[in-house]
Chain A
């Protein structure tokens, strides 16, 4: 039975990791869809506006008594994104893995902390 993300409409098969982790768009709620009603369901969700989708998510969070938690930070190849002076996003998973420190300054502009990377590599040896 497929599951559809209520935010972006992406479909996921049963037991997909996204159902546990959350959709790639950051959504955490899914419609459970019976195969026979899938087409009908897709039509309904495709008609939902962005506001409708947000409202549905909000309602669901209220029903389960949870406040919406902050969206997790998952960065691309950089470990630290500098949005502007004094604003930083940090990919903790990368840092805990010991990935090289890569700062993204802007689209296409990166700084790589080569010295620290080599130091951590020699430490691992």
Chain B
């Protein structure tokens, strides 16, 4: 049925990018749960849980009489340093931690390779952390250089240390949507902005 509905129509590719542990997969899961009724991937407190690009096809978001259909692409966290010792404190064995580090490095390369295919990107930043770092600035700067529309999500606003103003100050030329993907806070505004950016 769906193949007929969307015959000949190329779906928008919406990428989710950001540093590790900013909540990319939590947002992907939230979108999938809201509109498809199922989750997309596993989440973990250990950084670099997503080490492969994951795709969920044909998601239709409806808000205030408007709707948009896209393919959602959840990408591994982009980092400049990956150190297996960071994973040891989460109880991983040295062998597991080294394997995770290698896969995470490959994940960074893959995430960047996919960028040119994206029609629009949700940049997910952890609002409890300082946004002024090489990873955030490189991601947002490269999206701007490629003219890819960006929606910046200041995630984890349910946490005490969350500072939305700091993210807005760091990227004044972009629309910043504060959300808690985990709790589902402010998702209405998120979907409204998403439809506006994608249309």
Q: How many A-B residue pairs have CB under 8 A?
A: 64
Name the contact of A87 in the complex, choosing from B79, B84, B108, B135 (C-beta under 8 A). B84
A86 x B98 contact (CB < 8 A): yes
A57, CB-defined interface residue at 8 Å: no
B109 x A70 contact (CB < 8 A): no
B83 x A87 contact (CB < 8 A): yes
The interface residues of chain B lying within 8 Å CB-to-CB of A108 are: none
Which residues of B line the A interface, CB within 8 A? 78-85, 94, 97-98, 101-102, 105, 108-109, 112, 115, 130, 132-135, 138, 142
A56, CB-defined interface residue at 8 Å: no
In angstroms, Cα B87 to Cα A86, docked, is 10
- Please classify the interface of chain B as helix (H, G, I), strand (E, B), loop, or mixed, using the class held by over half of its residues: helix
Which residues of A line the B interface, CB within 8 A? 66-67, 69-70, 72-73, 80, 85-93, 95-96, 101
In angstroms, Cα B97 to Cα A66, docked, is 31
B188 shortest CB reach to chain A, Å: 33
A17 shortest CB reach to chain B, Å: 15
A90 x B108 contact (CB < 8 A): yes
- Given known A-B contacts A95-B109, A96-B112, A89 and B132 have beta carbons under 8 A apart: no
The interface residues of chain B lying within 8 Å CB-to-CB of A73 are: 80-81, 134
- Given known A-B contacts A96-B115, A96-B142, A72 and B83 have beta carbons under 8 A apart: no
